[in-house]
Every structure is written in structure tokens, then in C-alpha cells.
A and B are shown apart, each in its own frame.
Chain A
Amino acid sequence: MTLAGQGWQRRTWWPALRTSGLYALVACLWIYFSDTVLGAMVHDRARLTWLSTVKGTLFVLVTALLLFLDRHAGEKASRRKRREAEEGEARFRSLIENAPVGVVVADDRGRITQANAAMAEVTGFPAAELAQREVWDLAAPEARPGVVTDFRRLRTQDHLHTELEVPHRDGRSLSLEISAARIGADLNIAFVRDATGRKAEEKSREAASAERLAMLEAASVARVVPWSMDPEGWMNWGESLGAVFQWPGGVVRRHQGWPWERIHEDDHLRLRIALAQADQGFVSGFECRMAQKGHRWIWTRWTLAEEGGRYHGAVQDIHEQHEIQAQLLQTQKLESMGTLVGGITHDFNNLLMAILGFSELLLQDASLTKVQLRGVDTIYRAANRGRTLIDQFLGFSRKLPVRRVQANLNHLLEEASRLLQHALSKNVDLRLELAPDLPDAHFDPGQLHQVVMNLTLNARDAIQDHGTIILRTGLAEVGPELAVAHGRPEGAYLLLEVADDGVGIPAEALHRIFEPFFTTKGAKGTGLGLSMVHGIVMEHGGLLECRSKVGEGTSMRILLPLMAEAGPRHLAGPGAIPRLGILVLATGAAFQERITGALGMLGQTGAPAASPEDALEHLDQGGWDLLILEPETLPAQGQAFRRALEDKGWKGRVISVGSRLDPAFQSLTLGHLSRTFSLFDLVAILDRASLDETHAQNPAP
């Protein structure tokens, strides 16, 4: 800085020095030469003196003229310069004043000398007020030391760029972008831009991007793909397309025209109808099958709207939902069928009683003619077939009581295969693949025998008397998907499989095979076989799966619960309910009496408890296997009561009265009893309890 200062000073005095030097030189030369010339030419002394005076006067005049001209030009130049400087200063000030960004000018001590209107606007403080402050006063107190440091750095750095949080006059925080420079001695300037909006925008852009990701994630989870189609027929799919449909060969999110080739042929008409409807408004809930990776058809639900030649909407994968609904519908169908059948069979059996009873009596009547006898015999046989038919009805509607015993599936299959060998043609290769050491299970051997026979004879029809049928047992795991679809608990199950390498079942028939009266065998089939199988497997708390491929074969897989998981069922034989101690904690003395009375009639020991405390006292005495409990007797103290039971080490089970279940007792609850229960209901639930007892005493291996 000192060097620069010296240079500036030299440049200032050098032209003056040069001019005065030149003047001195020219003046000296003029005096010397003019005196020499005068001395050589003029010898008269008086004339010489006069001429010298004239020469001197002339010199003075010329010099004075030159001095005048120089001073005049100098004055003009300096005046112009001053004016220019003034104009420059004004321009500078006006430039600063009108700058579209905030500008602050400060001296080297940090005092603000000027702040423009934009700056006033940014900070909310009037420019005049700003001009009395120091630059760091603008920053929030905690940021001031930083600003002081930055300002000092300007001296060595000449220029810096920074961002600063500054409070607005109204208190909100501003985010300022500052470019500062030292542009002269005691002259520092800073350009200030309000980046609050941009910052917020950046933040919102970040948030928007996060939102987009979240939406994509949600779309993938909900398995929804938004789409649109522009008037030129270009279809654009949402980003979740890949996650939902896994279309092969990279996902084409933009393509020409409707994806007909990816929609099941049978559903094309539906899409056409939906498109036609969309022209008149919004179409929601139109369902069709679409191709997923691996040539799998999945059910999808479309929403569709048309607006000025532009279609838009979304496609949702509802396959799982669809499957569960189909399963549910199937169950409901079979259940309502069961109720109907139950009522009808009662009347039919009474009619058959009359027909069979009298025809049997008539058959023993010796006075009947041969023709009469044949007629009666036909009536008798027809009525007997009617009885078998009714049993079949009851079978598929799961109404026949199951008589379960502890038995082994391997033994069952060995026995069945011996019988089947005779029934099957020599060209059928019947193989047994039995898992060694298969644990026992609780099942009705007669009914499962029927199941095996039925499935094997179906397999025989499928292989058309030429091929292989495999009867297989083993253990299988039921995963969450299957468990949900069938409403069964997850875990290990016993597997009983009947597999063939026959013609297979076409996909469209596959979901109907368990429906009553559905048959692929034409007039030969009744359509009751598989629905009966289904009913029996359901009654055993099992699952039934059919895997089939046309031309490759079919595998029917029955999954039965292991013994410990077996649902409680009737035990065979009279008096199977052991004498149980049953404590009754319910509202209303009359109701309690009704239960204990009914229990007594059924040979059980029932006692009422007046209150939860009374119940706990009873339990202290021991001998109670069951607690019939109405949740209303334990308002808001279910948990406490449950803990008290646990503390006592009580190992019994609970029968809940009413449909409301206290969550505290969920794991202990064996079943529900309505307040308007019948003796039949009570017997059913006691049967469960006694089976549970049997299980507890003989836990499964």
C-alpha cells in the first residue's frame, strides 16, 4: 500500500517538475544565446542596455502569457475533473440507490455510509436508520463475531462471498447472500440478496422430492400405477409400474395405444365398454386381468376418466384381495348351502323314514306277488340311494359330525392303496411315497379314507387309465400368504398329497373345482366328489390346495394340523366328557343358576361365583378346570383379573359369555356361549373343553 502511495505521489509531481525543469533549461538557453548574439552584433553600450531591457521585458511577457495559458487550461481541466468526479459520485450513489439488490457501503471501521432502498426493503429498516449503524449490527447477536472476522478479512482478500442469517425488523429470520468487496481506501461495498424465498423453495423442492419418493413407495405398496393417455394415443405409466407389474424386458412406461396384449383376452370387451363409459364420465372399479412377469394373470382394478380426448386414471393390483374374496365367497356359498341342506335333510330323512320303514316291512310280507315285491324293492333301493345322497350333501356342507381319533396317515394310505390296487387298471402305476416317522394326527379315518379314494379315482380319470399316481405323506410349512388365504394359522402341517401325470385342469376351471355340482366329467360326474373332499378337509381344520398344469398333471395337497394345533372337536362315544369343575362368573343370578343347572344335568360340577374376588377365592380351593366368564363382570379390570389367575398358577380355560371378548383372555378362551344358549351349545363347547383336556394330558410328540 505504501508502494502504491509513492507511485501515486511521483506521478503527481513529476509532470510539474518536468515542466519547471524544461522551463529553466529553455530560459537559461534563451538568456545565454540571446546575450551571445547581442554581444557579437551590438557594440554600442547604451543600445545594448536598452535592447537587453526590451529582451528581458519580452521574456517576462511571453512567460506571463504561457503561465496564463497553462493556469487557464489547468483550471479548466481541474474544474472538469471535479465535475466529472461529482457526476461519478452521483452516478455511483444513484446506481447503488437503484440497484435491484441490496447494497451497503461502509468505511474501513465498519460504519455504514450508505444503504440503498432495496436493502431497506430486505431488512425492513429505513435506509437512513441503517446508515447510522455498523455492518455487524445488522446480524443476529450470535452471528456478529463472524461478521467482524469476515469484515477484517476483506482488507487482505478484497472480495468475499458469504451467507448470513439476519433478523428482519419484524423479527423473522432472513437468509441473506452477501458479496462484499473493498473497492477503495475506506470504501467497502456489499451486495445483499434475500435468499429466504429461494432457500424455502430449495427446502420445498427437497420436500417435494421426498414426497414424490414417498408417493412412489406408497404406490408400490398399495400396488397402484397411475396412467394417462394423451389425445395422440400415447400411454404414459407412473413410476410404480415396474414394482407392480414387473413387466419383462425393461419397463416401457410410454407406448402407443392401449396395452391390449397385456390384458386377458376375455376382459377386452370389458375394457372397451369401460372406455365407452368413460366418454360420458368417470369409470371406477372396472376389473380385468393383466399380465405380470412370468405369464401370470393378476386381477387389477381400473379407474378411468376422459377429458378432452385425454384419458387418465390408475390401475391397482387387487389380485390377493380377489383371491381372498373368491375364497370367502366359496366358504359363504358352502356355508349357506350347508344351512339349507341341514334343514332340508331333516325333512327328507323323516320322509325317508316312512318310505324305508314301510317298504322294509312290506318286503317281509309273504303275501305280496312277485311284481308287487319287485316294485317295493325298487322303492326301498331308491329311498336308500336318497339317504346316501343326503349324507353326501351333508358331507360337502361340513355337517356330518367328525369322529376323530388319534391315527397315522401312513397307515391310512397303505390300507387305501391295497383296496385301490384292485380298482385300478394294470396300466396305472400307483406309488406310495410315505414319510418315515410321520407323527400321528387326530382325524376321522373313515372320512379321510373317502377323501383318498375320491382323489385317487379322480386321478385315474385324469390319466385315462395310463400313467402314474403318487400317494405321498410328509410335513409341510404353511406360510403367511397361504394362511391368510385359507384363514388358518401359520406353521407346520401334515401333508397328504395325491399327484398324477394326467391331463391337468385348465386354469379357468381350477377355481371352481370345489364348487358343488361343478364337474368336468360330463354326465359321468356328480360334481359332489371334490366338494365333499373340501368339506371334510375343512372340518378337520385343514387346507386344500390344487396345483395343476394342463398336459403335465395335477397335485391335490391336503394339509392337516398337527395334533397340538388340531381344533377342538367332538370325541367319539358317549360319556366322553370327563367330570369337569366349572366356575361361572356372569351377571344375573338367574342366568348363573341356569348355567349351573344345565351343567349339573350334563353330569358336570358347576358353581356360581358372586364376584371376581369370590371367583378367585373359589379358585384357591382348586379343582376348577373351566371358567365361564362374562366380560361385563370385570369392567376395566380384565388385565388385573388375568394376572391374578396367572399368579395362582391356574391352568384352566375360559368360556366367554356373549360375543364380546375381553382381549386379556383371548389366549385362554376356548369358545363363546350366548346368553340364550341351548343345551346343544353347551354340550358342543364342553366337548371342545374335554378334547382340550385330552390334548393337555397327551401333548403331541
Chain B
Amino acid sequence: MPRILLLEDNPEASEAITAMLEALGHAVASAPDGASGMVKLEEGPFDLVLTDIMMPVMDGISVIIELRRSHPELPVLAMTARRDSNYLRTAELLGAAATLFKPFSLRELGERVAGVIKRA
């Protein structure tokens, strides 16, 4: 069962995405910001990190940069609720394997996650 680390600061959204990932058959560990996410990473191994961009303490961009450096083989899926931004474009350029705008459907999530894990 693929393990996914979810980094999301909004508690309701975090719960919903966790439930959706579990419905898709993944094991999920979650953290409310990038810094605690990096600690959580030690509980691994994980097959995928799904991270929000705007988060307190350590944002998703820093997470991606850090993971590219420390875990180059671990794929990152970036998501944001800011559709009016180039956050996801930046994430892609920094090496995120795929991106998602919130809110997304179960189908969209399933496709992205499957695509990324398969590539990895």
C-alpha cells in the first residue's frame, strides 16, 4: 500500500484530502506545516509527498527545494487554493512531479497520484 505524506495547514481540507487518499487506497501521514513534515519524513519511507504551497513555518516551495536536495528520488505533488497565482508553475519549475488546484475531485486526485507513483 503506497504511503503518502500530506502537508496541509487547513485542518478541514487536510481531513478531507486524507479521507480521499484513504478512499483511493493509500496510507496517509499528515503534518500541518513543512517543518513538522520534515520531521514526519523520518517515520518513512514514503512513496509520495503531497504538499500545500502556502503554509506557516516552512512553506511548500521550501519543502520542494529541501526534498529535491535531500530526497531526490521522492516525488512531490504540489497543490494550492490560490488559482490566481503562479505557485504551481514555480513548484513545477523547482521539480514538483505534478500539481493540483484545490478544490479537486476524487478522480483528479487519483489520476495525479497514480501518475506520479507510476513514474517513480
Stretch in contact with the other chain, from B30-38, B40-48, B76-84: B76-84
B89's nearest neighbour on chain A, judged by CB, is A683
A680 touches B86 (CB 8 A): yes
Contact pick for B103, options A352, A577, A684, CB 8 Å: A352
Chain A nearest Cβ from B75, distance in angstroms: 14
Chain A nearest Cβ from B5, distance in angstroms: 18
B106 at the interface (CB under 8 A from A): yes
Contact pick for B93, options A341, A358, A575, CB 8 Å: A575
B15 neighbours in A (Cβ, 8 Å) = 354, 358
B116 at the interface (CB under 8 A from A): no
B54 touches A346 (CB 8 A): yes
Most chain B C-beta atoms within 10 Å of own C-beta, residue among A353, A355, A390, A570: A353
B84 touches A683 (CB 8 A): no
A390 neighbours in B (Cβ, 8 Å) = 83
B81 touches A350 (CB 8 A): yes
A401's nearest neighbour on chain B, judged by CB, is B86
> Complex formed: what's the CA distance from A692 to B89 in Å?
18
A474 at the interface (CB under 8 A from B): no
With A350-B13, A683-B89 known as contacts, the answer to whether A391 contacts B105 (CB < 8 A) is: no
B120 at the interface (CB under 8 A from A): no
> Complex formed: what's the CA distance from A358 to B11 in Å?
13
Chain A nearest Cβ from B84, distance in angstroms: 3
Chain A nearest Cβ from B18, distance in angstroms: 9
A349 at the interface (CB under 8 A from B): yes
B103 touches A679 (CB 8 A): no
Chain A nearest Cβ from B81, distance in angstroms: 4
B93 touches A683 (CB 8 A): yes
A585 at the interface (CB under 8 A from B): no
Contacts between chains A and B (CB distance < 8 A), count: 114
A602's nearest neighbour on chain B, judged by CB, is B93
Chain B residues within 8 Å of chain A by Cβ, number: 31
B20 at the interface (CB under 8 A from A): yes
A440 at the interface (CB under 8 A from B): no
Chain B nearest Cβ from A388, distance in angstroms: 11
A346 touches B16 (CB 8 A): no
A358 touches B86 (CB 8 A): no
Interface set, chain A 314-367, CB cutoff 8 A to B: 338, 341-342, 345-358, 360-361, 364
Most chain A C-beta atoms within 10 Å of own C-beta, residue among B13, B61, B92: B13
B89 neighbours in A (Cβ, 8 Å) = 401, 570, 574, 683, 687
With A361-B23, A575-B92, A601-B94 known as contacts, the answer to whether A680 contacts B102 (CB < 8 A) is: no
A466 at the interface (CB under 8 A from B): no
B65 at the interface (CB under 8 A from A): yes
> Complex formed: what's the CA distance from A679 to B68 in Å?
16
A399 touches B84 (CB 8 A): yes
**Interface secondary structure of B, over-half rule:** helix
> Complex formed: what's the CA distance from A92 to B61 in Å?
113
Chain B nearest Cβ from A342, distance in angstroms: 5
A686's nearest neighbour on chain B, judged by CB, is B93
Write the residues of chain A forming the contact surface with B, with a CB cutoff of 8 angstroms.
338, 341-342, 345-358, 360-361, 364, 383, 387, 390-391, 394, 397, 399-401, 570, 574-575, 577, 601-603, 679-680, 683-684, 687
Most chain A C-beta atoms within 10 Å of own C-beta, residue among B16, B65, B86: B16
Contact pick for A349, options B17, B83, B93, B94, CB 8 Å: B83
> Complex formed: what's the CA distance from A683 to B86 in Å?
8
A356 neighbours in B (Cβ, 8 Å) = 16, 103, 105
A345 touches B81 (CB 8 A): yes
> Complex formed: what's the CA distance from A622 to B39 in Å?
45
A342's nearest neighbour on chain B, judged by CB, is B84
User: Could you list 18 A-B pairs, sorted by A, with CB under 8 Å?
Assistant: A346-B54, A346-B82, A347-B81, A349-B101, A350-B10, A351-B12, A351-B13, A354-B10, A354-B15, A354-B16, A357-B103, A399-B83, A401-B85, A601-B94, A679-B90, A683-B89, A683-B90, A683-B93
Q: What 14 additional pairs, Cβ within 8 angstroms, besides A355-B103, A602-B94?
A: A338-B84, A346-B54, A346-B82, A354-B15, A357-B106, A361-B20, A361-B106, A394-B84, A399-B83, A400-B83, A574-B93, A679-B61, A683-B86, A687-B89
B114 neighbours in A (Cβ, 8 Å) = none
Chain A nearest Cβ from B96, distance in angstroms: 9
With A399-B83, A400-B84, A680-B85 known as contacts, the answer to whether A354 contacts B90 (CB < 8 A) is: no
A364 neighbours in B (Cβ, 8 Å) = 23, 106
B19 at the interface (CB under 8 A from A): yes
B92's nearest neighbour on chain A, judged by CB, is A574
Contact pick for A357, options B16, B68, B90, CB 8 Å: B16
B87 neighbours in A (Cβ, 8 Å) = 680
Most chain A C-beta atoms within 10 Å of own C-beta, residue among B68, B81, B101: B81
Chain A nearest Cβ from B65, distance in angstroms: 6
A349 touches B103 (CB 8 A): yes
B19 neighbours in A (Cβ, 8 Å) = 357-358, 361
A401 neighbours in B (Cβ, 8 Å) = 83-86, 89
B94 neighbours in A (Cβ, 8 Å) = 601-602, 679
A383 neighbours in B (Cβ, 8 Å) = 103
